[in-house]
Amino acid sequence: MENIIAPRLTTLGHPQRLAVFRLLMRRHPDDVPAGELAEALALPASTLSAYLATLTQAGLLRQHRVGTSLRYGVAMEAVREMFDYLMLDCCRGRPELCAPADPKPAENAGRGSRRPFNVLFLCSGNSARSIFAETLLRDLGAGRFTAFSAGTRPQSSLNPFAVELLHSKGHDIGLLRSKSVAEFNRPDAPLMDFVFTVCDQAANEDCPAWPGQPVTGHWGIPDPAQAKGTDAEKALAFQRAYGSLSRLISTFTSLSVESLDRLALQNAVDDIALNRTKDTL
């Protein structure tokens, strides 16, 4: 086993290879085009290609071709094998020796929940997709979930097409506003049980780990604000984004969140993401 694990750890010991690996972990279970990785990490294509080849050779990544594009994702079985080895051998099977530095788990992660689960949706602008998600969960999960949204680079105002759509669907839009993720990094911010990115750009950004070890997921939805054409065609793009998020959040709220442990919750969130990507193929 050491002959397998040691090369993987050595491979991840390189800062930029580690950055590639971490980005793909944030995008899991998606497979990401090499060109998007290069743009997100500001790496020359040749340099990134070398990093991807090394990570793939070590067994940490998988790759497949879609048309002319090579896509990469994390080989989770190999990653779990590496972490299991570190936990069972290096930590001697005693997780308390190797627990994260922040000892405070999210209060509601699994059994024994007493308050609604806090859920944060992130995108880059916090003007449409994350606003849709916040609003949908607030209505579909009332009493069980408290919904929030934020942007890594928030817009100064909400997208008017998004606001009009929510209004037409009968949602309360009075309290909605575009806000920065910094609001949720303050010491007095609510402790999150779940954090979801709903745009690829936000997931590609290197954000600090969230306190409390929330369950995380990436439910990337195409940006309706990028739609071209007439106002009717643009409105249709927002309708599609709303519909996609409505299906995702309906599936999420159908989970027996209160009775599942953290690992089961994470697997369920990843399954929702996998079904999303299958639907878009």
- Domain limits of the chain? 2-98, 117-280
Residues 189, 183 contacting (CB under 8 angstroms): yes
CB 269 within 8 A of CB 217: yes
Tokens of 203: 């997931």
- pLDDT for res 105: 42
pTM for the whole structure: 0.81
pLDDT value of residue 69: 87
pLDDT for res 88: 81
Indicate the CATH number for domain 2-98. Answer: 1.10.10.10
Average pLDDT, consecutive stretches of 10 residues, N- to C-terminus, the chain (281 residues) = 86 96 93 94 96 96 91 94 85 67 47 77 96 97 94 93 96 93 91 94 82 89 93 95 96 93 91 73 42
pLDDT of residue 4: 87
User: Which segments of 13-99 does DSSP mark as H helices, in order?
Assistant: 15-27, 34-41, 45-57, 76-85
pLDDT value for 210: 84
Q: How far apart are CA 33 and CA 50, in angstroms?
A: 15
Which pLDDT score is estimated for 277?
Answer: 57
Report the CATH architecture of 117-280. 3-Layer(aba) Sandwich (3.40)
Instruction: Report the candidate in 54, 4, 52 with the shortest Cα–Cα distance to residue 31.
Output: 52
Which helix (H) or strand (E) segment is 64 a member of? Answer: strand 61-66
CA distance 275 to 105: 28
- List all residues 6 or more positions away from 129 whose beta carbon is below 8 Å from its beta carbon: 121, 123, 198, 199, 221, 223, 224, 241, 245
The two tokens of residue 182 are 């910094």
